[in-house]
């Protein structure tokens, strides 16, 4: 007998599982069936490809056994099984990166009924069994190995793993039900759960139970065995035979989501390449979507035989939120990972699937499309940068905030609004930052607003600084960063600017002397309307014009900034005539640092900024 301590996170999870109220305890059975389905998938592959197992007479199945006298429920499969190490790793440890986030969600809601969607979303499904049981045994034997093992736990801080005797490979999960969970001993309840969640998994599910019958005045118990699912592999059926409800429940069961998907795309392709695909777009982004160790959402089958759910490039990485199945008729069952990555058949399936998914997204009704944008807009931007074949389609889908209104806008909608304006250049103006409010109040927008020029507000700073310069132009309209380019000037405005530059040259020279190396330059500008000053990157500096390339390489470039003064501002007009050197010095620093703050940058004189402002105020008063 070997006793083990649960990993800390598992102990916390089990405590919450057994002491919290859940909105749907039925999911424990769904999760156990899902695990059994995975085990059958894995052995099915070995049975078809490994000489050691090819001769075995094997009929894959899942059996749910009800024992009312023992007050227990068992879920039995003849899949790949587990050895001692598998048991400890799979049931004693949670390796998934989202466990802590899951625990935080549970603890946050522990006084309320918890949405059991979290259980599937964070991949901790087996532990849901402790919602209905205080004693669980897992008896299992791994295919090809001699020894069998039993895992025993009461949902507290310890579990046992012992060597036992079991003739065949596979797993039995034995559940001693709590007194308040006896409804799961009723055959009608088991039928209901399986029909709802597991009707279309590709393996047969049988229910075994005893039924009381009366014969010749005597009551006796009769053993019953009943097939309780269709076992049809949903994705292989013609779309006309599948109800909307069946699509939804198959998604929920297979990917552990309690919410309905946003939409789905079912394709049955015949001809030179034969394949079937069924893709879903979740309503909510998977929790690990921006982690390097994210869990892929697409399963590869060949002729209905499960091959892998670990391959991250069955679809491009920017579509990693998609859940689904690819089932090919033309690939060999023993296809290797290397062949998968280079196979032309799979490449064709992948490209056709990308087009179908993107076109489906593009045609979503507004309510669903808005949900999609809120969840996945960043990933579409990733695609713009990485998927050159589908770049135009992705540019039709991506959305941005804008100075024209508070909602998201498409590039097509921007062009449609702007092209009607007189003498309008074919330019799409944008500004990049981290905070929408900061961008909306940026002094750099003032001349664009004055001239009724709409500007896109790009708030995914790290991503936008890499992606947007790579776009270049869209449908003949050039994308222009307003921090590196002023608003277009007519001839009259150019002459006015030249006059102001001459008139304020002495003040500009004094500011340059005061600020020294803290600015690349000081100059008069006409880009401002109300603000007295602003800072802009030096557009002749390679670091500024190529900053997206440096960011892509993981480097944070040191950007040189230019201080621009609004000569039409009352403040700047007054400073032109100030003789007091101290006031000029303090004013120069306040104008620089306040301009930096307006752009979301740190003030250079951070430690002295408030003192300088206070000093100037006292002199003014």
What confidence tens digit (pLDDT) does each residue in 146-166 have? Answer: 999 999 988 777 889 999 999
pLDDT of residue 262 exceeding 50: yes
Cα–Cα nearest to 20, from 134, 94, 130, 100: 130
Which residue is listed with tokens 């920017």?
318
What is the rounded average pLDDT of the residues 211-228? 85
User: 290 near 379, Cβ under 8 Å?
Assistant: no
pLDDT of residue 439 exceeding 70: yes
pLDDT of residue 113 exceeding 80: no
Condensed to tens digits (0 to 9), the pLDDT of residues 303-321 reads 877 888 888 889 999 999 9
Residues 6+ apart with CB under 8 A from 11: 5, 157
H/E stretch holding 125? none
Distances (CA, A) of 307 to 9, 266, 333, 335, 390: 31, 20, 8, 9, 28
Helix (H, G, I), strand (E, B) or coil at 388: coil
User: 357 near 323, Cβ under 8 Å?
Assistant: no
Tokens of 407: 């909602």
pLDDT at position 92: 66
Within 10 A of 85 (CB to CB), how many other CB atoms are there? 11
pLDDT of residue 620 exceeding 60: yes
Angle at 299 between CA 375 and CA 201, to 5 degrees: 105
First to last CA, the chain: 84
H/E stretch holding 609? helix 609-620
Residues 6+ apart with CB under 8 A from 108: none
**Structure confidence at residue 120 as a pLDDT band (50, 70, 90):** very low
**Structure confidence at residue 94 as a pLDDT band (50, 70, 90):** low
User: 220 near 237, Cβ under 8 Å?
Assistant: no
Tokens of 69: 């006298």
Condensed to tens digits (0 to 9), the pLDDT of residues 46-57 reads 998 889 999 999
pLDDT at position 427: 94
Look at 1 and 364; give whichever has higher pLDDT.
364
Within 10 A of 476 (CB to CB), how many other CB atoms are there? 7
User: 428 near 477, Cβ under 8 Å?
Assistant: yes
Q: How far apart are CA 174 and CA 153, in angstroms?
A: 11
Domains of the chain: 2-227 (3.30.565.10), 234-378 (3.30.230.80), 399-488 (3.40.50.11260), 492-621 (1.20.120.790)
Question: Positive or negative CA dihedral for 519, 520, 522, 523?
Answer: negative
Which residue is listed with tokens 């909510």?
284
Which residue is listed with tokens 């997204």?
361
pLDDT at position 497: 85
Helix (H, G, I), strand (E, B) or coil at 543: helix
Order of strands across the sheet that contains 561-566: 521-525, 561-566, 533-537
pLDDT at position 256: 80
Cα–Cα nearest to 14, from 190, 150, 156, 186: 156
pLDDT of residue 122 exceeding 50: no
pLDDT of residue 115 exceeding 50: no
pLDDT at position 21: 40
Which residue is listed with tokens 């670091």?
543
H/E stretch holding 456? strand 455-458
pLDDT at position 554: 54
Look at 354 and 7; give whichever has higher pLDDT.
354
Q: What's the CA dihedral at 311, 317, 323, 329 to 10 degrees?
A: -50
What is the rounded average pLDDT of the residues 338-358? 88
Condensed to tens digits (0 to 9), the pLDDT of residues 350-395 reads 999 999 999 999 999 999 999 999 999 999 999 999 999 999 999 9
Long-range (24+ apart) CB contacts under 8 A made by 506-514 are 506/576, 507/565, 507/572, 507/575, 507/576, 508/565, 510/584, 510/588, 511/563, 511/565, 511/588, 511/591, 514/584, 514/585, 514/588, 514/589
Q: How far apart are CA 581 and CA 514, in angstroms?
A: 10
pLDDT of residue 477 exceeding 50: yes
pLDDT of residue 103 exceeding 60: no
What is the rounded average pLDDT of the residues 332-345? 73
3-state secondary structure 228-296: CCCCCCHHHCCHHHCCHHHHHHHHHHHHCCCCCCCEEEEEEECCCCCEEEEEEECCCCCCCCCCCCCCC
pTM to 2 decimals? 0.70
**Structure confidence at residue 96 as a pLDDT band (50, 70, 90):** very low
DSSP string of 152-173?
EE-SSSEEEEEEE--SSSEEEE
Q: How far apart are CA 431 and CA 482, in angstroms?
A: 6
Burial of 599 (0-12, 13-18, 19+ CB in 10 A): buried
Q: What is the mean pLDDT of the chain?
A: 86
pLDDT at position 543: 52
Q: What's the CA dihedral at 271, 272, 275, 277 to 10 degrees?
A: -80
DSSP string of 74-112?
EEEE-SS---HHHHHHHHS----TTHHHHHHHHHHTTTS
pLDDT at position 450: 85
Within 10 A of 420 (CB to CB), how many other CB atoms are there? 7
Condensed to tens digits (0 to 9), the pLDDT of residues 23-49 reads 578 878 988 998 898 899 899 989 988
């Amino acid at each position: 007998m070997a006793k083990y301590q649960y990993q800390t996170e598992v102990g916390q999870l089990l405590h919450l599982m057994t002491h919290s109220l859940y909105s749907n305890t039925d999911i424990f059975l769904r999760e156990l069936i899902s695990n059994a389905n995975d085990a059958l998938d894995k052995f099915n592959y070995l049975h078809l490809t490994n000489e050691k197992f090819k001769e075995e007479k094997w009929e894959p199945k899942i059996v749910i056994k009800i024992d009312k006298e023992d007050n227990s429920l068992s879920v039995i499969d003849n899949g790949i099984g587990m050895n001692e190490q598998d048991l400890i790793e799979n049931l004693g440890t949670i390796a998934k990166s989202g466990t802590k986030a899951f625990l935080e969600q549970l603890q946050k809601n522990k006084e309320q009924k918890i949405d059991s969607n979290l259980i599937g979303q964070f991949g901790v499904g087996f532990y849901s069994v402790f919602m209905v049981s205080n004693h669980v045994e897992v008896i299992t034997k791994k295919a090809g190995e001699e020894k069998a093992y039993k895992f025993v736990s009461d949902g507290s801080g310890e579990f046992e793993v012992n060597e036992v005797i079991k003739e065949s490979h596979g797993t039995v999960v034995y559940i001693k039900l709590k007194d308040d969970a006896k409804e799961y001993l009723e055959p009608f309840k088991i039928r209901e759960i399986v029909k709802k969640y597991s009707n279309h998994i590709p393996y047969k599910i049988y229910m075994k139970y005893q039924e009381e019958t009366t014969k010749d005045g005597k009551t006796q118990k009769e053993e019953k065995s009943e097939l309780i699912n269709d076992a049809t592999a949903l994705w292989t059926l013609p779309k006309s035979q599948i109800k909307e409800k069946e699509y939804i429940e198959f998604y929920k069961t297979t990917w552990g989501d309690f919410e309905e998907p946003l939409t789905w795309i079912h394709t049955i392709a015949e001809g030179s390449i034969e394949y079937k695909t069924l893709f879903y777009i979740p309503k909510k982004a998977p929790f690990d979507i921006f982690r390097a160790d994210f869990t892929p959402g697409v399963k590869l089958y060949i002729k209905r035989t499960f091959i892998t759910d670990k391959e991250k490039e069955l679809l491009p990485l920017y579509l990693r939120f998609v859940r689904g199945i690819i089932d090919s008729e033309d690939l060999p069952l023993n296809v290797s990972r290397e062949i998968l990555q280079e196979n032309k058949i799979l490449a064709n399936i992948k490209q056709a699937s990308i087009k179908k998914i993107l076109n489906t997204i593009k045609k979503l009704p507004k309510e669903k499309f808005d949900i999609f944008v809120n969840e996945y807009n960043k990933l579409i931007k990733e695609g713009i940068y990485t998927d050159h074949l589908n770049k135009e389609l992705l540019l039709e889908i991506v959305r941005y905030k804008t100075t024209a209104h508070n909602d998201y806008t498409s590039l097509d909608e921007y062009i449609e609004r702007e092209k009607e304006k007189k003498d309008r250049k074919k330019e799409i103006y944008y500004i990049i930052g981290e905070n929408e409010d900061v961008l909306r109040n940026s002094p750099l927008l003032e001349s664009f607003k004055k001239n009724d020029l709409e500007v896109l507000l790009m708030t995914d700073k790290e991503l936008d600084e890499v992606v947007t310069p790579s776009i270049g132009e869209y449908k003949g309209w050039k994308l222009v960063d307003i921090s590196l380019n002023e608003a277009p000037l007519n001839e009259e405005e150019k002459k006015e600017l030249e006059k102001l530059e001459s008139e304020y040259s002495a003040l500009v020279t004094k500011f340059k002397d005061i600020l020294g190396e803290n600015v690349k330059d000081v100059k008069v500008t006409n880009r401002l309307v109300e603000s007295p000053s602003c800072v802009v990157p030096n557009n002749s500096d390679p670091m500024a014009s190529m900053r997206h390339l440096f960011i892509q390489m993981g480097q944070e470039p040191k950007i040189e900034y230019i201080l621009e003064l609004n000569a039409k501002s009352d403040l700047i007009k007054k400073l032109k005539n100030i003789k007091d050197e101290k006031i000029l010095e303090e004013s120069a620093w306040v104008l620089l640092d306040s301009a930096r703050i307006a752009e979301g940058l740190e003030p250079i004189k951070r430690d002295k900024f408030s003192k300088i402002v206070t000093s100037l105020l006292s002199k003014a008063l």
